[in-house]
Amino acid sequence: MVAHLTDPEKELIDKIARSKNGTVGHALAAVNAGRARKGKEEMTRSPVYRYMKGLTYKRAAPEKRGRKPLVTKGVVRDLQQARRRLLKKADSEERVTYADIQEEAGYKGTFCEKTMADALRNAGVSFKKPRRKIGLTKEDAKERKLVGKVWVKRPTSYWTKRVKCYYDNKTFPLPLTAKQRKKFKQTRITGHLRLPGEGVEQGFTKPRTDHCWIGIPSVTIAAAVAKDRVIMWHNVGKKWNGAVAAGVYKGPMLKALRRTWGHLGKYTIVEDGDRKGNQSGKGKTAKKECHIHSVTLPPRTPCWMPLDYAIWKKVMDKVVSGMPKGEAAESKEEYLKRLKKAAMSLPRGFVANSIKRMKKNIQGVLDAKGYHPKCD
């Protein structure tokens, strides 16, 4: 017959385990010393070891007495499926409630709403703010899916070597004064460790991003990445049109492509479908003259542009970490210099891995049937 640990012996083992030099051997010796005084059979090492490691004698075992629960694992599965159906059907136009889920799953009247809500909460369901993403229509998702079916067949080497650069524009705010820097940093905070009632107290709120950039200057940057680094970083000025886009293609971009890849008969680049500049008549003419072939992204697909899904944020993080402290102001020239330095000094491994994510991101959009992928 196998000997079992008694409650006093468990408490003794717990005390030894909490001590500085408490080991299984010390605990076993103490337990057997007590058993010897009472004339009991000695305990083997295995039960003491398993108890100290938490492999057995678990006091929080599920209760098996009483009436069986109404909301079983199968019922929770049905409720989860009904919840997903309702949320996708509502498409964020209206709020889905617990009562709606219970009715959709066909369990109305079987158990109370609170019982069902508790079961879903135990499964990890709770009211959370939706993630903010670019709005996608059915037409957008359909086009993304069609393009993805073609692009996913291309190997990773196509996106890292055959594509000579990924090109995009970005408008950066220029917080130059201490007041502007504070407001800019506040908008980057994603949350606080707080109690529910502390939400509107000073220090627990952040400015609304809709109007927070009023009075803060900005700059538009045209950038391109290839291989493992940013190969072009160009300030396009205040205006953006076909003529400016043509100047970028003929000037800094062509120079960067030749410097990175040498003189080739054709340069394949990936860019978005900006009609004002990239896809304008002047822009297309300039690309033809420079032997630049553009692969145009589907509408509203930043998850296929390394600059959008990785590079811009990394650059901004480096710029913020190097902002002046205190009340000191910064000139526009100094800020732009820091901005360019942050981009050109990005870790090469990070840039290379960001470009390699292209094939995975394309597959993610296909898995999501053209909508937002989980890897986005």
Which pLDDT score is estimated for 352? 96
- Share of residues in the chain with pLDDT > 90 (%): 50
More confident residue, 270 or 184: 270
pLDDT in tens, 223-240: 999 999 999 999 998 889
The residues, ordered by sequence, that sit 6+ positions from 255 with a Cβ below 8 Å of its Cβ are none
Q: What's the whole-model pTM score?
A: 0.71
- Share of residues in the chain with pLDDT > 70 (%): 94
Does the pLDDT of residue 173 top 70, yes or no? yes
Element (H, E) at 188: none
Which pLDDT score is estimated for 363? 94
Which class is domain 138-189+212-367? alpha beta
Q: What is the CA radius of gyration of the chain?
A: 31
Task: Give which of 252, 247, 287 is closest to 268, Cα–Cα.
Answer: 287
Q: How far is CA 368 from CA 105, 213, 363, in A?
A: 24, 34, 9
Which pLDDT score is estimated for 95? 84
Across 208-219, average pLDDT? 68
Which pLDDT score is estimated for 76? 92
The residues, ordered by sequence, that sit 6+ positions from 210 with a Cβ below 8 Å of its Cβ are none
Does the pLDDT of residue 344 top 90, yes or no? yes
Does the pLDDT of residue 209 top 70, yes or no? no
pLDDT in tens, 15-64: 888 777 788 888 899 999 999 998 888 888 888 888 887 777 555 556 67
Q: How far apart are CA 306 and CA 297, in angstroms?
A: 12
Q: How confident is the model at residue 291 (pLDDT cuts 50, 70, 90)?
A: very high
Three-class secondary structure assignment of 258-294: HHHHCCCCCEEEEECCCCCCCCCHHHHHHHHHCCEEE
pLDDT in tens, 179-195: 888 888 887 877 777 77
Does the pLDDT of residue 301 top 60, yes or no? yes
Q: Where are the domains of the chain?
A: 7-52, 73-122, 138-189+212-367
